[in-house]
Structure 1
Amino acid sequence: MTDTTIQNLQSRDPFADDNEGGGSQDGHIHIRIQQRNGRKTLTTVQGIRPDYDLKKIVKACKKEFACNGTVVEHPEYGEVIQLQGDQRQHISQFLKKVGLAREDQLKVHGF
């Protein structure tokens, strides 16, 4: 039996982060929640194509969700949107409504 007939030669770490390409290279928009202190949380949105103006998206989200937000520069992921509070469902519905993403492009992470 040769190596070309064996399919499982490539080992894959099941616990590795699924965004090894970083940014929008894998074509997905990742929506995550991060715990701050106490009950405070932060929602991050990463992977929106760079040809969109993220500051205008944040401005619309702040008005729609009644929360604060900003765009930060991450060394690995590029520009990332940060919103105060647990806005995972709101931002995923918003991105679908305005046509920035399809359902199969969104990945919502968190507890």
Structure 2
Amino acid sequence: MVDLDVQIPSAFDPFSETKDSAPGAKGYVHLRVQQRNGKKCVTTVQGLREDFSYQKILKDLKKEFCCNGNVVQDKVMGKVLQLQGDQRMNVLNFLVKGKIVDKEQIKIHGF
């Protein structure tokens, strides 16, 4: 038998980028809105760096936007901020204005 040094091309996987989507992967902060019952919804902020004080950020967000909120520890996503209502644009402006995160590092999801 002859040993040929041929590389077989692997199949293209369009989701290969998302397979290693650990919390804060690639430095993105994800702002999502989740529909609750009726007209109510919840805004979640995921992907902030671990060295930030989540409680202080939450306290400032709650005071600034007159809403309630909570810090949730998730097994997969790590720490996640939850705020009442659709606060995606408000949180985006708050994070950029406070120089916590660059605007290019924020991804907004939802309807």
Q: What's the TM-score once normalised by structure 1's chain length?
A: 0.86
Computing the radius of gyration over CA atoms, which structure comes out larger, 1 or 2? 2
Structure 1 partner of 2:109: 109
Structure 2 partner of 1:76: 76
Deviation at 1:21, TM superposition (A): 1.8
Q: Note the residue ranges of structure 1 that are not aligned, 5 or more in a row.
A: none
RMSD: 2.1
Distance 1:71 1:17, change over 3 A: farther
Distance 1:50 1:19, change over 3 A: farther
Structure 2 partner of 1:46: 46
Deviation at 1:54, TM superposition (A): 0.4
Identity of aligned residues (%): 42
> Deviating runs (4+, > 4 A) in structure 1?
16-20
Structure 1 partner of 2:3: none
Q: What's the TM-score once normalised by structure 2's chain length?
A: 0.86
Distance 1:64 1:19, change over 3 A: farther
Structure 2 partner of 1:11: 13
Structure 1 partner of 2:87: 87
Deviation at 1:20, TM superposition (A): 4.2
Higher helix share: 2
Q: Supply the distance in 2 between the matched residues of 1:89 and 1:105 (Cα, whole angstroms).
A: 14
Q: Deviation string for 1:50-101 (max 9, x for gaps)?
A: 0000010000000000000010011100000000000000000000000111
Q: Note the residue ranges of structure 2 that are not aligned, 5 or more in a row.
A: 1-5
